[in-house]
Structure 1
Amino acid sequence: MTTETTARELFASLAGREPDGIWSAPGRVNLIGEHTDYNEGFVLPFAIPHRTVAAVGLRTDGLGRVSVASTFAEEPVEVALDELDRLFPTPAGAQPAVPEWAAYPLGVAWALQDAGATGSGVDIAIASDVPVGAGLSSSAAIEGAAASALNDLWNADLDRTALARIGRRAENEAVGAPTGIMDQMASMIGGVDTAIFLDCRTLEAQQVPLAVAEAGLAILVMDTRVKHAHSTGGYGERRAACERGAAIMGVPSLRDVSVDDLTRAQELMDDVTFRRVRHVITENQRVLDTVAVLRSEGPRAIGDLLVASHASMRDDFEISVPELDTAVEAALAAGALGARMTGGGFGGAAIALIEADAEAAVSAAVEAAFAAAGHAAPALFTVTPSAGARRDA
């Protein structure tokens, strides 16, 4: 059964009718540029084929209520549209007033209303094949699908960048996860065979040809199955360290600090804060370098930048875990051109840039390394850069 069929059937069980339409949005892989987005830096993600589907219809009972159902939960959640302002925003560190899975689509409805959109009650049914907790941005896929649907049904006429901002606000203020805007932008504006070079300060986005298949390569996702959650401690602590570092350097954000400033930064900061800052500053430079190399030489030449990124996240930002390190090391030993963890860290997935005909061999090597280390078996699959949010029916 397809994800769309699942969403349609769930909608029928929720609302007793056919939906007005089907909308979907993808998860994403971040090729490089981790924890730079909320520091107003640079990122280079791409949308993946795995998608969240929302079957959505305007209510026929005249009630100004929104109900959401999901394959993630047994019971739907229903609230009045005029109650959303009472439910959100979620105080920092608190649990949302609704189940967390429901806070994503309900938060989108709240943020749209707060931005001036008006509309009648809706029913929303969500199904997804984006792996949850793998660092592939299943949350932004939910937000993108819901925002696209409500934008159409409520005639809000917002562009994709504005809808990405809506999704980020839902995640930041309704769910309480202090993430940047990379995930939502990747999910909204992704393109086939391209990565998105995004300036997170201006939200200027450029499509950069990735052309992995054309080069005879593939991108292997190695999902460690170690779950992570952005709204819990480690992520917030890293963000606070970045803000502390920027304040010490006297700048609005670490975007305004260059590699040439690192010597001065080290003199001013404690070791932990300095290493957090060093990761962000060098990662910004690696994104710029990766874009330049992709444009001049193609994807075969970016492997060393991916490896350096992982080392920085492991040693300076300290967001890797043994399973992620095992995946990266095993893939490289088996011949991958480059590999790194992707996503927020503390679990989730790593990616490896491999020869297209080496998928079976690299996968077998990673599985063997996990078994030898006593880790649970990873989930392994390849991804290609794919289209962003859209209406499917």
Structure 2
Amino acid sequence: MNDAATARQRFAEYYGHAPVGVWSAPGRVNLIGEHTDYNDGFVFPFAIAERTWVALGDRDDRVVRVATSFTPDPVEVHLEELAVERLAPDSVSGWSAYPLGVAWALGRFGGELAHARGVDLFITSDVPVGAGLSSSAALESAVALALDEHWGLGLDRPTLAKVGRLAENEVVGAPTGILDQSASLLSEPDAAVFLDCRSLDAEVIPLHLADERFTILVIDTKVEHAHATGGYAARRASCEAGARALGVPSLRDLDVDDLAHAEQVLDDETFRRVRHIVTENRRVLDTVRTLRERGPGAIGSLLDASHASMRDDFEITVPEIDLAVSVAQSHGAVGARMTGGGFGGSAIALVAVDLVPAISTAVREAFAEHGYGEPVIFTEQPGAGARRDA
């Protein structure tokens, strides 16, 4: 089990003294709005129960030292040492790029690090890695909140989200947008964050899932993905190429009425990438409006359409994800879709609480019939964002 007490205990065992505090941040589920964030579009994520904890202790020098008990081997502890003065995008690699990249990025956003004392950090987490639930943003956000408070930098949460994005883009090398960090830092219980990724205006929208006896079923296919490699960067490049060809700063500047012209101008593949972004932005806006007017039971068709668009136009799903979605839909889910960057990870389904056992069993049986590995299936209710725990 991972929690604040565990992080505190592991820190003390590893470093030989007690930490001064423990901070945590959650992973996230994106209810709808995939790959729209780096296109200046709209997203609608919420925080999950699973979190990453960072225990922090003072040092007498200028060294930032990090250690972790991350999965897949929670017993093995990895340690990196890097002086604050040397923090730079080309000086770290591997898992340490996330926490040390955040320390570097804090200075790029006005954090005064010249007189900051060194710290020891010990990181524990129960956010599944590679499941499309943003374990990376949970780590970045927890470290950013801890260092900001401990060093007295005074940065607000939207700025800390930018810190996490910069660390992931420039140090980790993953060309992600700001969706994940914003969800981890801004979320509130039983609500999702409606975020305009151009203006960074954010509004917390109540979901009322518990009131109406709904839950989010998460189906982790165990097909791992990585944003720093593979198709994610190619999809972003296609979006940027489409915007250039259409003469707009970003695909955010297009609406569905512009798609007929786009189809004439673009090659088929680029057009389909553009069509996904344009229609996905519209689906996010329609989801927020429908929630306000009719409640969560009315958004199923929008979730289903989002998945079809990711499968057919953006081509980021895998057979395991498609199977999980189709089985959930055929066994009574209100709606279902892939969540996250794609090429593996998790599907989500909005389901009535009473249907959770039946849908879970049907998905497991379908995976077995197709010869796939057994998925990990669990439920989520939207939770709280990053915080100090101790």
What code does the residue aligned with 1:31 have? L
Which residue of 82, 85, 89 maps to 1:82?
Answer: 85
Distance 2:355 2:41 in 1: 34
Whether 2:298 is the aligned partner of 1:301: answer: yes
In the TM superposition, what whole-angstrom CA distance separates every residue of 1:39-90 from its partner, at most 9, and x where no partner exists?
Answer: 000000001111000001121xx21001100112532111111111xxx324
What code does the residue aligned with 1:39 have? N
Distance 1:224 1:31 in 2: 17
After TM superposition, the structure 1 = structure 2 runs for residues 106-125 of structure 1, keeping only pairs within 5 Å, are 106-115=100-109, 116-118=111-113, 119-125=116-122
After TM superposition, the structure 1 = structure 2 runs for residues 67-216 of structure 1, keeping only pairs within 5 Å, are 67-72=65-70, 74-84=77-87, 88-90=88-90, 97-115=91-109, 116-118=111-113, 119-216=116-213
Deviates more, 1:169-178 or 1:67-76: 67-76
What code does the residue aligned with 2:64 have? V
Alignment-derived partner of residue 63 in structure 2: 65
Distance 1:224 1:71 in 2: 23
After TM superposition, the structure 1 = structure 2 runs for residues 211-360 of structure 1, keeping only pairs within 5 Å, are 211-360=208-357
Shift of 1:172: 0.6
Tell me, yes or no, if the aligned pair for 1:68 and 1:124 is still in contact at 8 Å. yes
| Structure 1, unpaired ranges of 5+ | 91-96
Distance 2:224 2:277 in 1: 24
Tell me, yes or no, if the aligned pair for 1:228 and 1:348 is still in contact at 8 Å. yes
Shift of 1:12: 1.5
Distance 2:16 2:68 in 1: 15
In the TM superposition, what whole-angstrom CA distance separates every residue of 1:309-343 from its partner, at most 9, and x where no partner exists?
Answer: 00000000000000000100111111101000000
Shift of 1:4: 2.2
Other structure's SS at 2:222 match: coil
Distance 1:216 1:5 in 2: 32
Whether 2:384 is the aligned partner of 1:381: answer: no
Alignment-derived partner of residue 32 in structure 2: 32
Other structure's SS at 2:236 match: helix
Tell me, yes or no, if the aligned pair for 1:58 and 1:153 is still in contact at 8 Å. no
Other structure's SS at 1:224 match: strand
Distance 1:113 1:311 in 2: 42
Tell me, yes or no, if the aligned pair for 2:2 and 2:125 is still in contact at 8 Å. no
Q: How many pairs align?
A: 382
Tell me, yes or no, if the aligned pair for 1:213 and 1:356 is still in contact at 8 Å. no
What code does the residue aligned with 2:366 have? A
What code does the residue aligned with 1:78 have? E
Other structure's SS at 2:35 match: coil
Shift of 1:7: 1.6
Tell me, yes or no, if the aligned pair for 2:92 and 2:171 is still in contact at 8 Å. no
Shift of 1:3: 2.7
Shift of 1:8: 1.7
Deviates more, 1:165-174 or 1:67-76: 67-76
Distance 1:6 1:322 in 2: 37
Tell me, yes or no, if the aligned pair for 1:10 and 1:69 is still in contact at 8 Å. no
Other structure's SS at 1:225 match: strand
Distance 1:106 1:181 in 2: 18
Shift of 1:388: 0.4
Tell me, yes or no, if the aligned pair for 1:45 and 1:186 is still in contact at 8 Å. yes
Tell me, yes or no, if the aligned pair for 2:4 and 2:389 is still in contact at 8 Å. no
Distance 2:317 2:142 in 1: 30
Tell me, yes or no, if the aligned pair for 1:191 and 1:388 is still in contact at 8 Å. yes
Alignment-derived partner of residue 94 in structure 1: none
Distance 1:166 1:185 in 2: 11
What code does the residue aligned with 1:335 have? G
In the TM superposition, what whole-angstrom CA distance separates every residue of 1:1-41 from its partner, at most 9, and x where no partner exists?
Answer: 44323322321133211101010000000000000000000
Distance 2:247 2:202 in 1: 27
Q: TM-score normalized by structure 2?
A: 0.96
What code does the residue aligned with 1:316 have? D
Tell me, yes or no, if the aligned pair for 1:108 and 1:143 is still in contact at 8 Å. yes
Distance 2:49 2:55 in 1: 18
Tell me, yes or no, if the aligned pair for 1:198 and 1:204 is still in contact at 8 Å. yes
Distance 1:157 1:14 in 2: 29
Other structure's SS at 1:178 match: coil
What code does the residue aligned with 1:74 have? V
| Structure 2, unpaired ranges of 5+ | 71-75
Distance 1:114 1:348 in 2: 32
Whether 2:17 is the aligned partner of 1:20: answer: no
Other structure's SS at 1:260 match: helix
